[in-house]
Amino acid sequence: MKHLIIMSTLFTALGLTACDRQPAVVYVPSTTAAAGPAGATGATGATGESTTVIVTPSAESSN
């Protein structure tokens, strides 16, 4: 019983000492690159002159 009290006191003291430490904070500078100039624009697409609509029957209508 005597050893149990001594060991529990020792572990409690070590545990409280470990909780008292200040965490090490390391600030890493951000490395954001500056944006370059805009590139050339591409060709425009078709304006919807031909439209294809595909209709599939539902599973309920196949009875």
Calpha distance 20→9 (Å, rounded): 17
Record the tokens describing residue 35, joined without a space: 């944006």
**Per-residue model confidence as pLDDT tens digits over 5-39:** 888 988 888 877 766 567 778 887 777 777 778 87
Residue in the block written with tokens 């060991």? 7
**Per-residue model confidence as pLDDT tens digits over 43-62:** 777 666 677 778 888 777 55
What's the confidence (pLDDT) of residue 48?
A: 65
Calpha distance 25→46 (Å, rounded): 56
3 three-state secondary structure? helix
Q: Give this prediction's pTM.
A: 0.30
